[in-house]
Amino acid sequence: MIHIRTTLVPHAARRRRLAAAAALAAAALVLAACGKAGTPATGGTSSSAPSFKPATQNSSAPLTVWVDSTRLPGVQAYQKAHPGVKLNIVTYNGDANGSNYLQTKVELYDRAGSGWPDVVFTENVNDITWATEPGIDFAAPLNGYVPAATLAGFATNALSPCTFGGKVYCLRNDLAQDVLWYNKKLMNSFGYQVPATWQQYQALGEKVAAQHPGYIIGTVGDAWAPEVYFWASQCPANQVTAPSTLTVNTASPDCTRMASLLDTLIKDKAVSTDTVFSAGFAKNTASKVLMLVGPSWYGQTLFNAVFKTPAGQIAAAPPLAWAGDSATYTGDVGGGAWIVSAHSANLKAATALATWMTTSNAYQATAGTYPAYKAAAAAWLANQARTGYFADNVAPAFTEAAGMVWPGWSATKFSQEAIWAATVVPALTQGKTITSMLGAWQTAIRDQAQALGYTVK
């Protein structure tokens, strides 16, 4: 905040002279304009590979690692297993919920010319698109440092948000593929079958509303609702079709079918417009969750840790299909990644840490989220079965869903979550329908994309 104090001399002649001088200065500025305004320091949004020149390397240079509190124990485990590596561990919010913390800091370091962390964990896939922008060039290409066999060990498409111009710029920590979570105990006691299609899901929702009012089968008040429902419905709301070109068409039948399905269920109160992480939801609704379409991390993070649903009740089914569609797809809510800084003076050690964090069973098998690295995922699933929390083995649903993520939803430079949360959620809270908000949603995506240099079609 700037406190302003001005000393104006209330003298008419002097004021007039000042005004004339100010007008002259303004005119001079307008005339002197020779450059182009509004050009960001970056070259806009381009999918071409950024330039990379490693800094002078020093194999004993200490590593600064930025990590969120969830992944912190992993880095501490790495330090324990590798006492020879000098680590400076910094915890931050992991850029969750569309926070710009990493971007803010890195761009300040860019201006200062020093201070960058060597390895960074981010929960925000959009960060990777940003980190590879020409002009930012924060992410180092990892192809020369991580063996090709290791890169091939990641799940299908897991590294596609990391890949630009044929080079890999990050290692995915986890996948957040959407599955159908359900409370097996409740479903059995109500005598319901787990649906296999969205049509059956809607029919069951209407039945629940009539027979067991108060119970819910989904939520749309979360920022990631578009990634749960509209991504799975193959709605073209977020499709990079050419470099710097975004296709947005929320009027497509693939969007409207999901909107009207949800509107029906919202009207019946079988789908809640609240967010699963609100204090009210945990208190009033958590025990009445019959089904919840959502990411793989819902199991431990939401049902176990937040809702405190007792062990032996929660199970996961494969993603819902659309009856009539030839293939079944699902969405993806986040899925973090490790980025190695292009400015690092010790790329070898930095890459080794990122590789260990993403691929080693020692850490990934016990992590809270589903590992993106296939061998680690197998160990993780075995471990989940050992915890005994789930009513059934979640492995079949998780493994199937991991290969079903629709590739038509791109990682853009901006967060779709922020747009949905600020545009659609408040309208739903006030009783409007999703169908009536599709136009406003489209406009909000278009405006945001254009402001960041995308051509929107």
Partner 1 sequence: MSGRKARRARGTLRARHGYAFVAAYLLLLLAFGVLPAGYAIYLALTNSAGQLVGLGNFTAVAGDFRFGPAFAHIGVYLAIWLVVLVAGVVGLALALHGRMRRTTAVMRFLYYLPGALAGVASVLVWLFMLDPTVSPVGWLLNWLGYTSFAQVIVPGHLPVVLAVIAFWTGAGGWIVIMYGALNNIPDDLLEAARIDGAGPLAIARRIQIPMLRKWIAYMVILAFATGSQLFVEPQLVGEASLGAVSNSWSPNQLAYLYAFQANDFHSAAALSVDLLVLGLVCAAVIVTRSGLFNLE
Q: Which residues bind partner 1 (CB under 8 A)?
A: 1-8, 10, 26, 29-42, 97-100, 103-104, 107, 111, 133, 135-136, 221-223, 273-275, 277-280, 283-284, 413-414, 417-418, 420-422, 425-426, 429-430, 447, 451-453
For the CB of residue 378, give the shortest distance to partner 1 in the complex, in Å.
33
Cα separation of 322 and 69, whole Å? 38
User: What is the closest distance, in whole angstroms, from the C-beta atom of residue 227 to partner 1 in the complex?
Assistant: 13
Nearest-approach distance from CB 102 to partner 1, in angstroms: 10
> Shortest CA distance to 351 belongs to which of 126, 58, 141?
141
The torsion defined by the Cα of 109, 114, 117 and 119, in degrees rounded to 10, comes to 110
Collapse the DSSP code of 361 into the 3-class scheme (helix H, G, I; strand E, B; otherwise coil) and give the result: helix
Distance, CA of 74 to CA of 375 (rounded, Å): 17
Q: Of the two residues 168 and 292, which places its CB atom closer to partner 1 in the complex? A: 292
Nearest CB to partner 1, comparing residues 323 and 422 = 422
Give min distance, CB of 35 to partner 1, in A: 3
Q: Which is nearer to partner 1, 163 or 273 (CB)?
A: 273
Task: Kindly list the distances between the CA atom of residue 349 and the CA atoms of 60, 119, 153, 337, 445, in Å, as whole numbers in the listed order.
Answer: 9, 10, 20, 17, 40
Residue 191 exposed, middle or buried by CB count within 10 Å (0-12, 13-18, 19+): exposed
Nearer to partner 1, 278 or 435 (CB): 278
| Contacts of residue 389, Cβ cutoff 8 Å, sequence gap at least 6 | 299, 300, 304, 311, 312, 314
272: Cα within 13 Å, side-chain hemisphere:
25
Among residues 62 and 98, whose Cβ is nearest to partner 1?
A: 98
Work out how close the CB of 413 gets to partner 1 at its nearest, in angstroms, rounded to a whole number: 8
Helix (H, G, I), strand (E, B) or coil at 350: helix
Q: What are phi and psi of 141, to 5 degrees?
A: -70, 135
- Smallest gap from Cβ 6 to partner 1, in A, equals 5
> Taking the complex as a whole, how short is the minimal distance between the CB of residue 158 and partner 1, in angstroms?
26
Residue number with CB closer to partner 1 (31 or 148): 31
Nearer to partner 1, 276 or 350 (CB): 276
